[in-house]
């Protein structure tokens, strides 16, 4: 039976078989490129189908971890090979396995040189992403967490735009700083608790003084990934230089590593510090929402604009997590999944017109709707999802985050809600300048309409964004137990501390 398989390991490492196949392909350049695309698509597609079983077989009313696998790694050291999923990691695994084949499809025509290497990078990236979300051992988590960056560096550095080196470098500098601090904290935790097992660490009571420093160490790493203001400046450059599919994965999955980290480590392991630092994080997040929205207004590059909007949307996520309320955390989770789908689609929207006109300058466009009516419709839908229209997934997350935020502090909710207005300003303005108007330039009129491959990428994204907006229970139900579990732990820990004081 399938349930007796080490399913998580299979899903995690399945893309490696694709890498193997890719290395075996022989023939001329053309054949290698064509076959590489097919192999990568099939392998990642199969991985996605397999990962669906994680949703189907997941018992939302079961406490703790499911599909657990454990094997001793270094005997007696407390370090083990430990995989498992709960309500907060499972949706992310599906997000990653869902977006990977779509990104591969998105690079079908735009990547023409070193296709095989490119596909290998994507499959390795998938292994790292899924492995990171499935890890229940801190050391494994760290390896995957940092490992994700290597294929992403390569994707930006080799297939990126003109200033790819600067962008990759900036990305690296930020990340390195955070990683080193996080690693130091992990070592301290191992030394104190004698294990790297995440569930065991979550149950271990670190003293509030230690929590304070550990929290900061992890925060340094996660804040860069989210990214939170003011360590966000790598994101616009990385996006602008990355190829379309790289942006889709970067915005779709990699930005969620920070939020996931907060939920997996910071809240359960350092509840006192999380509460202590919550106001500080609110401030940074609100600055992110307002500041980056205003900066987005000033952009003339489509990708930069959407990159800045990502920072603003992720501001909602960090607010939601640190409200330490059930609605806030569930909303943050939902917002992350929703943003994963919507931002991937928006970056693809940019990629579609970039493939045709080879510029991302907003002013180069105008009147695209005449040449590409279906594209205009998909773009419109995703633009509205991005501004949180009810009935799309974007609304559910924002609404729940605001409910939590209002409970935590009225001012946080009020200031965050200004994002609703500013978000509408920059997104509608972008859409208007690109899509509406009369197409006067001949090259715009000659743009070819969406082909079948592009429609095949938009359609599943559109369906999911709509479905999650109309029936969010699909996601909320599987997360509910884990979210209330995190909440209960934080609450009980805090109440114990209060009693002790």
- Residues 124-163 close enough to bind other proteins by CB under 8 A: 146, 149-150, 153-154, 157-158
Q: How far is the CB of 227 from other proteins (least distance, A)?
A: 11
- Of the pair 14, 125, the CB lying nearest other proteins is at 125
Binding mask 304-343 vs other proteins (x if CB under 8 A, - otherwise)? Answer: ---------------------xxx--xx------------
Q: How far is the CB of 48 from other proteins (least distance, A)?
A: 27
- 473 belongs to the binding site for other proteins (CB under 8 A): yes
Q: How far is the CB of 205 from other proteins (least distance, A)?
A: 19
Q: Which helix (H) or strand (E) holds 80?
A: strand 79-85
Backbone dihedral angles phi then psi of residue 331, each to the nearest 5 degrees: -65, -40
- 120 belongs to the binding site for other proteins (CB under 8 A): no
Considering only residues 484, 489, 494, 497, which one is a binding residue for other proteins as defined by CB under 8 A? 484
Distances (CA, A) of 235 to 15, 303, 304, 327: 27, 10, 9, 28
**DSSP character for 111?**
-
- Of the pair 102, 368, the CB lying nearest other proteins is at 368
Q: How far is the CB of 421 from other proteins (least distance, A)?
A: 5
3-state class (DSSP) for residue 79: strand
Q: Are 190 and 214 in contact (CB under 8 A)?
A: no
Residue 111 Rama label (left phi>0; alpha psi -120 to 50; beta): beta
Site for other proteins in 441-470 (CB under 8 A): 470
CA dist 321 and 332 (Å) reads: 6
- Of the pair 129, 168, the CB lying nearest other proteins is at 168
- 48 belongs to the binding site for other proteins (CB under 8 A): no
Q: How far is the CB of 380 from other proteins (least distance, A)?
A: 8
Q: How far is the CB of 228 from other proteins (least distance, A)?
A: 12
Site for other proteins in 215-244 (CB under 8 A): 230-231, 233-234, 236
Q: Are 407 and 355 in contact (CB under 8 A)?
A: no
Longest dimension (CA), the chain: 74
Site for other proteins in 266-295 (CB under 8 A): 291, 293-295
CA dist 222 and 462 (Å) reads: 29
CA dist 476 and 467 (Å) reads: 13
- 402 belongs to the binding site for other proteins (CB under 8 A): yes
Considering only residues 319, 341, 396, 447, which one is a binding residue for other proteins as defined by CB under 8 A? 396
Distance of CA 186 to the CA centre of its chain: 23
- Of the pair 35, 285, the CB lying nearest other proteins is at 285
Residue 324 Rama label (left phi>0; alpha psi -120 to 50; beta): left
Q: Which helix (H) or strand (E) holds 302?
A: helix 302-322
Considering only residues 64, 109, 390, 446, which one is a binding residue for other proteins as defined by CB under 8 A? 390
In sequence order, what DSSP letters do the residues of 113-170 get, joined into one string? SSHHHHHHHHHHHHHHHHHHHHB-BHHHHHHHHHHTHHHHHHHHHHHS-TTHHHHHHH
- Of the pair 41, 464, the CB lying nearest other proteins is at 464
Q: How far is the CB of 78 from other proteins (least distance, A)?
A: 13
Residue 116, CB-side half-sphere exposure with 13 Å CA sphere: 16
Q: Are 400 and 328 in contact (CB under 8 A)?
A: yes
CA dist 185 and 62 (Å) reads: 31
- Of the pair 31, 173, the CB lying nearest other proteins is at 173
Binding residues for other proteins, total number by CB under 8 A: 82
- 246 belongs to the binding site for other proteins (CB under 8 A): no
Q: Which stretch binds other proteins (CB under 8 A): 89-97, 199-207, 247-255, 422-430?
A: 422-430
Considering only residues 19, 413, 478, 490, which one is a binding residue for other proteins as defined by CB under 8 A? 413
- Of the pair 71, 414, the CB lying nearest other proteins is at 414
- Of the pair 315, 367, the CB lying nearest other proteins is at 367
Indicate the burial class of 199 (C-beta count within 10 angstroms; 0-12, 13-18, 19 or more).
middle
- 184 belongs to the binding site for other proteins (CB under 8 A): yes
- Of the pair 67, 141, the CB lying nearest other proteins is at 141
Q: How far is the CB of 484 from other proteins (least distance, A)?
A: 7
- Of the pair 138, 330, the CB lying nearest other proteins is at 330
Backbone dihedral angles phi then psi of residue 67, each to the nearest 5 degrees: 55, 35
- 400 belongs to the binding site for other proteins (CB under 8 A): yes
């Amino acid at each position: 039976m399938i349930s007796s398989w080490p399913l998580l390991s299979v899903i995690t490492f399945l893309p490696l078989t694709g890498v193997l196949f890719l290395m075996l392909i022989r023939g001329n350049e053309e054949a290698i490129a064509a076959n590489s695309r097919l192999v990568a698509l099939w392998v990642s597609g199969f991985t996605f189908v397999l990962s669906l079983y994680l949703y189907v077989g997941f018992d939302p009313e079961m406490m703790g971890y499911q599909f657990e696998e454990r094997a001793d790694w270094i005997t007696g050291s407390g370090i083990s090979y430990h995989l498992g999923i709960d309500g907060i990691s499972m949706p992310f695994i599906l997000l990653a396995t869902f977006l990977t084949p779509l990104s591969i499809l998105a690079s079908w025509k735009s990547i023409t040189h070193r296709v095989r290497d490119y596909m290998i990078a994507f499959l390795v990236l998938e292994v790292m992403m899924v492995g990171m979300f499935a890890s229940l051992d801190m050391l494994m988590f760290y390896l995957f967490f940092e490992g994700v960056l290597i294929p992403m560096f390569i994707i930006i550095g080799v297939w990126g735009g003109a200033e790819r080196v600067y962008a990759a470098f900036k990305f690296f500098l930020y990340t390195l700083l955070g990683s080193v601090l996080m690693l130091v904290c992990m070592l301290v935790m191992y030394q104190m608790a004698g294990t790297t097992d995440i569930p065991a660490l979550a149950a271990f009571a670190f003293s509030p003084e230690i929590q304070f420093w550990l929290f900061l160490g992890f925060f340094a790493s996660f804040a860069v990934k989210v990214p939170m203001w003011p360590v966000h400046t790598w994101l616009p450059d990385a996006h602008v230089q990355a190829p379309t599919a790289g942006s889709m994965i970067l915005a779709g999955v990699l930005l969620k590593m920070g939020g996931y980290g907060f939920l997996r480590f910071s809240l359960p392991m350092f509840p006192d510090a999380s509460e202590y630092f919550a106001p500080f994080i609110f401030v940074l997040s609100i600055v992110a929402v307002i500041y980056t929205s205003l900066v987005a207004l000033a952009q003339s590059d489509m990708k930069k604009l959407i990159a800045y909007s990502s920072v603003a949307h992720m501001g909602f996520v960090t607010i939601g997590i640190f409200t330490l309320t059930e609605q806030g955390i569930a909303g943050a989770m939902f917002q992350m999944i929703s943003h994963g789908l919507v931002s991937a689609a928006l970056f693809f929207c940019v990629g579609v017109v970039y493939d045709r006109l080879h510029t991302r300058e907003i002013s180069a466009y105008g009147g695209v709707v005449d040449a590409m009516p279906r594209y205009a419709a998909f773009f419109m839908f995703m633009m509205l999802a991005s501004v949180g229209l009810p009935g799309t997934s974007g609304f559910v997350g924002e609404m729940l985050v605001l409910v939590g935020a209002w409970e935590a502090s009225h001012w946080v909710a009020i200031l965050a809600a200004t994002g609703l207005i500013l978000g509408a300003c920059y997104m509608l303005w972008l859409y208007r300048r690109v899509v509406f108007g009369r197409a006067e330039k001949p090259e715009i009129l000659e743009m070819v309409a969406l082909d079948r491959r592009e429609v095949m990428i938009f359609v599943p994204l559109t369906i999911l964004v709509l479905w999650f907006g109309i029936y969010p229970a699909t996601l909320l139900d599987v997360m509910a137990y884990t979210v209330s579990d995190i909440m209960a732990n934080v609450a009980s820990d805090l109440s114990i501390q209060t009693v002790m004081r």
